[in-house]
Chain A
Amino acid sequence: MNTAILTEEIVETVPFFNTSKVDQLATNSIEINNVTVSFKTPKGIYTAVKDISLTVKKGEIVSLIGHSGCGKSTLMGTISGMVKPSNGTVMVNHSLVTKPGPDRGIVFQNYSLLPWFTVYKNIYEVVDAAIKNKTNKEKKELVEKNLKMVNLWEHKDKLPGQLSGGMKQRVAIARAFAINPSILLLDEPFGALDALTKSTMHVELLKLWNLDNREKTIIMVTHDIEEAIFLSDRVVVMNNGPAATIKEIVDIPLARPRNKKHIIHDPAYMTIHDKLLNLLIDKFSIDDIPTI
C-alpha cells in the first residue's frame, strides 16, 4: 500500500444518491429491551451487561465504544444471537432473536476465515449454508460479485495464510455482505490492522454501505474514537464492567459523505472528539495521575 493511493482513496467519493433515508429511519431495525447478560464462572455469577435498552433504526451506523471488558462485544453477541440474554429481549426486524440468522452478517475480530479453504471457498461455503432459495449458479454469482466488490477477485484462489491482515479483513467483510444481511455486526473489525490500512478500510466499508443504498444497519464494536466518529451516526459509550450500562449516546451529526482529511478540521468533529475523550478517559497528562 503506498501513501499516494491512500490519500486519493481516503475521500469517500460515491455521491449521496439516497433520498428516501428519512422514510427508512422510521423503521426500527434493532430493539434491545432491558437486556442483562450474566455468565456462570468458577468464581460465581458474572454480570457483563445490565439492563441495557437501545433502539437502532434501519440504515443507521452505530458504534459501541468502551474500555476493554466493558461488555460491548457481549451486547453485540445478543444481537447476533451468539449470546443469550439472561434477561430482556432483543428484536431484529421485528422478530425475537433466539439464534444467529442470515439477516445478520457478522465480521469477527480476528477475521475467522477457515484456513483450509481458498478465499473463494470461504465465501462460497457461507453463502451455500446461509442462503437456501438460490441455485448453485446464483450462489456462485453472489460470491463473484462480493469478491469483486472488495477487489479480491484476482486473489480468489489464495489461502487465508497467504493474505495480509487487511486483505483477510476484506474477505471477512465480503463474506458478511455476500449473504446480503439487513444488519451488519462488526466486532472490532479493524482492531488488528495498522493505522494506514485501517483508514483505507473505513472508506471502503462506507463505500460498500453506499453502494447498497445505505439500507444496511451497521453495529460496530470499537475502542477507537476517531473510527467511531468517522463511521457512525451515533456512538454508544459504555460504562466499565462488570454490570456495564450505557453511559451516554452521542449523536454524530456530521454530513455524509465524510472526508477523512477534511473532517478532522471541522469544529463539530473536534467538539464530538473532545466529548468522547472526556467520557472515556480521565487522565490526560502526568498531572492527572495521583502521586503515591
Chain B
Amino acid sequence: MKNSISLKSLLPAFYFAIGIAIVGGIWELIAHLTKNEIPNPSTTWITFKEVIQQPMQDDADIKGIGTKLLSSLKRVGIGFGIGSLIAIPLGIIMGSSKTIMAILNPIVQILRPVSPLAWFPLGLAMFKDSPAASVFMIFICSLWPTVINTSFGVSAIPQDHKNVGKAFGFSKWKYFIKIMLPYSLPHILTGLRLSIGIAWMVIVAGEMLSGGIGLGYFVWEEGFNGGSVAKIIVAIIIIGVVGLILDKIFMQLQKKFSYAA
C-alpha cells in the first residue's frame, strides 16, 4: 500500500524525465543537422556551468547571472506592482458601474492588443530613460488582464450574494469587504497570474531594446553579439524556469483563495 503511494507520487517526475528525454533527443538531432551551429545539450551544459559561476557577482564590468536575473525581476516587480495597484481598483469601478464599464471598456479593448514593443518608444519619450521605458512597457502590458478579469468578477456577483447584503442591511463598506472582494478575489488573482506571465514575457524584449543589466540584454549582447548560441539557450531555459515559478506562485494563491460554492 505504502509502496504504491510513493510510486504514484514519482509518476509526474517520471513523465517529466520522458519529456526532457524527447526534447533532448530532438535537440541533439538539430545540433547534428546544423553541424553544431546550434550547440548540443552537453556543450550547452558546459556553458551553463560557466554562466552560473559566481551568480551574484556585481562588479562594475562583470555581473553574475543572478544579479542580472534580480535586475530583471525588479523591473517586472515595479511595473507589475504599479500596474496592479491601478488595474484592481479600475476593474472594481468598471465592474460595479455599467456606465463606467460602457465608457472605459472600448478603450481597454483598443489598447489591450497593442504590441508591448509599441509602448517602448512612448515610454522613452516620456521618461528619457531606457530602463524606465521598459518598466513603463511592463506596467502598461500588465494592466489589461487584471482590469478585465477584475471587472468581470465584480460584475458577475450573483444576485443571491447581493440579496444577503441588501436583506440584512450591510453598509457599503461591509458589502465591499465581505461580499464584493471575497467573490472577485479568485478572478483578480486569475488576472494577476495572466499579467505576471505577460510581464515576464515582455521584460526580455524590453531589455533587448533598453540595454542595461538584465536577462534580455544578456541574450542579446552576450548571446547573439557575443556569438554564443549556447548562452542564448541557457538564458532561454533560465527565463522559462523563472516564468514557471512565477506562475506557480500565483497558482498557489489562486488555490488558497478559491472556495466551493
**A and B interact physically:** yes
Contact residues in A for B179 (Cβ distance below 8 Å): 114
- List the one stretch of A8-16, A99-107, A195-203, A237-245 in contact with chain B: A99-107
Please determine whether A102 and B163 come into contact, CB atoms closer than 8 angstroms. Answer: no
B259 within 8 A of A: yes
Contact residues in A for B167 (Cβ distance below 8 Å): 80, 82, 100, 106, 108
B171 within 8 A of A: yes
Please determine whether B169 and A129 come into contact, CB atoms closer than 8 angstroms. Answer: yes
Please determine whether A114 and B261 come into contact, CB atoms closer than 8 angstroms. Answer: no
Contact residues in A for B165 (Cβ distance below 8 Å): 129
A110 within 8 A of B: yes
Please determine whether A129 and B259 come into contact, CB atoms closer than 8 angstroms. Answer: no
Please determine whether A115 and B163 come into contact, CB atoms closer than 8 angstroms. Answer: no
Contact residues in A for B128 (Cβ distance below 8 Å): none
A278 within 8 A of B: no
Most buried by B among A80, A102, A126: A126
Give Cα A115–Cα B179 distance, bound, in whole angstroms: 10
Please determine whether A161 and B163 come into contact, CB atoms closer than 8 angstroms. Answer: no
Determine the main DSSP class of A at the interface with B: loop
Contact residues in A for B163 (Cβ distance below 8 Å): 82, 106, 108, 112
| Residue of B with least CB distance to A111 | B160
Please determine whether A130 and B164 come into contact, CB atoms closer than 8 angstroms. Answer: no
| Residue of B with least CB distance to A102 | B169
Give Cα A123–Cα B120 distance, bound, in whole angstroms: 52
Given A114-B182, A115-B259, A116-B259, the answer on whether A100 and B166 have CB atoms closer than 8 Å is yes
Contact residues in A for B182 (Cβ distance below 8 Å): 114, 116-117
Contact residues in B for A208 (Cβ distance below 8 Å): none
A179 within 8 A of B: yes
Please determine whether B178 and A100 come into contact, CB atoms closer than 8 angstroms. Answer: no
Q: Using CB atoms and an 8 Å cutoff, list the residues of chain A in contact with chain B.
A: 80, 82, 100-102, 106, 108, 110, 112-117, 125-126, 128-130, 159, 161-162, 175, 179
